[in-house]
A = this chain, B = another copy of it.
């Protein structure tokens, strides 16, 4: 591997001049620059990034912290899209992406985020799934900038900064309105655990707003709680259909629960959407392949990762001190699992 000293010798200049010439800085004559560039090319000189970083006091690495919430993680098709969006944009800004994934909580082992505390990164992007106490806490005392992908509340209740998330609220609102526009007035919901994650909390808020928008009072019996898994969607169907006044549509706050619900609905001898409409949220791969294909809400995973990377780069370069939370649009994807309610013959 050629070093800057080799290049300097070949070009007949000092290493300092080589450094300046190759960085295209001032105070180097055109003739000298040309000689240096030629010498560097001949030697196939590639500056050692480690040495450069030591001098720069910058590492060129951005950390990506993922909480260990297995169900969320494995169920979330967007994680890859996030990563792709980030990696794509970070490469452009000349950053690396360093993954930090903690182990399953059982095996504590060493601090999963240790490397991020060693001054090994210039900034970080944190995926927050539970609204706060997770990995973000691990970065609270760090001096570098970081961005939250998701929702997070400050301890004092104030709204957070440096936040990027999808319009979960708006997506749920519009999806509920889609159901309403088909004629549904009793729409059951399969939500997450009572102690909600940020995103699902927002989705539920969207549903509530849509119901309130029609002047209806929210019927609490239409609100069931799952745990993100298909099985919990499956069980919620029984709870909803055994009501005295069952819903004509079910809105599951994620696709997996929606797919579980469809499966149970079929078992009970009902058809989707003829007897009961079902909608989800996420637009996972399975949604389009389901029988029937699932009406759902898509969020722009790639763009979220891209925006996070863009903004983090600006924070690192101090072109920006901070930003208010940035909300990316969601899109209602209408497929075949939703239709007008059946005339109220059967109950």
**Chain A interface residues toward B at CB < 8 A:** 1, 46-51, 53-54, 59, 61, 73-75, 79-81, 83-84, 87-88, 91-92, 96-101, 103, 109-110, 112, 115, 117-120, 230, 256, 259-260, 262-263, 266, 284-286, 288-291
B80 touches A73 (CB 8 A): yes
Q: How far is it, in angstroms, between the C-alpha of A259 and the C-alpha of B284 when the chains are bound?
A: 14
How many Å from the CB of A277 to the closest CB on chain B? 17
Q: How far is it, in angstroms, between the C-alpha of A156 and the C-alpha of B118 when the chains are bound?
A: 46
How many Å from the CB of A239 to the closest CB on chain B? 20
B291 touches A289 (CB 8 A): no
Contacts of A74 in B (CB 8 A): 80-81, 285
Given A54-B51, A88-B101, A97-B99, A119:B289 Cβ within 8 A: no
Number of copies of this kind of chain in the complex = 2
Contacts of A91 in B (CB 8 A): 100-101, 110, 112
Q: How far is it, in angstroms, between the C-alpha of A117 and the C-alpha of B47 when the chains are bound?
A: 11
A115 touches B96 (CB 8 A): yes
Contacts of A61 in B (CB 8 A): 96, 98
A230 touches B284 (CB 8 A): no
Chain A at the B interface: SS class? helix
The 15 sampled A-B contact pairs (Cβ below 8 Å) are A48-B54, A48-B119, A49-B115, A50-B54, A50-B119, A50-B120, A74-B80, A80-B80, A91-B100, A96-B99, A230-B289, A262-B291, A263-B291, A266-B291, A284-B285
How many Å from the CB of A174 to the closest CB on chain B? 25
Given A112-B91, A290-B291, A49:B120 Cβ within 8 A: yes
Contacts of A291 in B (CB 8 A): 262-263, 266, 290-291
A86 to B, closest residue via Cβ = B99
How many Å from the CB of A94 to the closest CB on chain B? 9
